[in-house]
């Protein structure tokens, strides 16, 4: 199969990342079937998708007819079996190796043999996920960035077993969505998070040590380095639970203290202060 032959895409998980992937695929003219395990989570995902499409119209990035057409190209389901006829599947579940592997293992027995299984993991080595399937040559990392509709990058990560044809297919697919791709070796964290996580953890440690307030730490970076967002606000945007999970994966893989999750990060996640999605993190929303 070629990238231009993809007509129907499956997305497993419609949280912040999954809903964004559904949105960009639907806006690109593709049919999208998305799956969550419960009707309640499915409805939350649908509402998130509708909300983002309305924001795109309000911002002038989409006209109302395009919004309605994109929404009409999507449908939800609570069973993975609904993905039996798709041409490509993107797993966008929580950043947990066992959960992702279980999903890929189940999909392996549902979709056609030639279908590529892509994971939106931000940190987990692809080989460890591909090993759960009988098609490791057709398992690949396809890491989108938040917010998906506005971030142009996708990290493509083949494992040692991923075929060249699979890599070519997903890179072409990403271009159809208007994205730019970079290719990473199959190491935990890939490119962006190998650089980002020590930066975010370092800022959290400075805050915990009382070096500066959260506001001053972020201002130092936005005004001093001209970054569009400070590290603590960025961590809140990513989700502190995701930052913690990614840091744990990186620390387990490399053993570098720079990747070790700061105690303050663990305490905040334990208290449910996850950032923007919970209304409170290092800042209030």
Question: Could you list the active site residues?
Answer: 122, 143, 155, 193
Partners of 117 in the β-ladder: 89, 139
Rounded CA separation 37/56 (Å): 28
Structure tokens at 79: 């069973």
Rounded CA separation 197/68 (Å): 38
All residues at 6 or more sequence positions from 280 whose CB lies less than 8 Å from its CB, including other chains: 273
Rounded CA separation 21/30 (Å): 11
Q: What DSSP string describes 215-279? A: HHHHHHHHHHS--SS-HHHHHHHH-HHHHHHHHHHHHHHH--GGGSPPHHHHHHHHTT--BGGGT
Find the radius of gyration of the CA atoms of the chain: 19
All residues at 6 or more sequence positions from 279 whose CB lies less than 8 Å from its CB, including other chains: 285
């Amino acid at each position: 199969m070629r990238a231009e032959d993809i007509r129907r895409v499956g997305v497993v998980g419609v949280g912040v990342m999954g809903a964004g992937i559904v949105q960009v695929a639907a806006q690109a003219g593709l049919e999208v079937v998305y799956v969550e395990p419960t009707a309640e989570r499915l409805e939350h995902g649908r509402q998130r998708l509708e909300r983002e499409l309305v924001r795109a119209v309000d911002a002038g990035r989409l006209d109302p007819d395009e919004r309605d057409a994109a929404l009409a190209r999507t449908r939800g389901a609570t069973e993975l079996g609904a993905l039996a006829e798709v041409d490509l599947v993107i797993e966008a579940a929580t950043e947990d190796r066992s959960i992702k592997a279980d999903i890929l293992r189940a999909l392996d027995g549902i979709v056609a043999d030639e279908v590529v299984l892509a994971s939106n993991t931000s940190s987990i080595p692809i080989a460890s996920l591909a090993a759960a399937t009988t098609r490791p040559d057709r398992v690949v990392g396809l890491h989108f960035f938040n917010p998906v509709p506005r971030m142009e990058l996708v990290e493509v990560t083949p494992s040692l077993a991923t075929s060249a044809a699979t890599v070519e297919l997903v890179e072409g697919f990403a271009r159809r969505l208007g994205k730019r791709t970079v290719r990473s070796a199959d190491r935990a964290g890939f490119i962006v998070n190998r650089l980002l996580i020590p930066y975010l953890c370092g800022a959290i440690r400075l805050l915990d040590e009382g070096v500066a307030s959260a506001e001053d730490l972020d201002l130092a970076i936005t005004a001093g380095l001209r970054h569009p967002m400070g590290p603590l606000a960025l961590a809140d945007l990513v989700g502190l639970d995701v930052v913690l999970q990614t840091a744990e994966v990186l620390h387990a893989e490399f053993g570098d203290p720079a990747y070790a999750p700061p105690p303050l990060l663990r305490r905040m996640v334990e208290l449910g202060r996850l950032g923007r999605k919970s209304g409170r993190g290092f800042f209030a929303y």
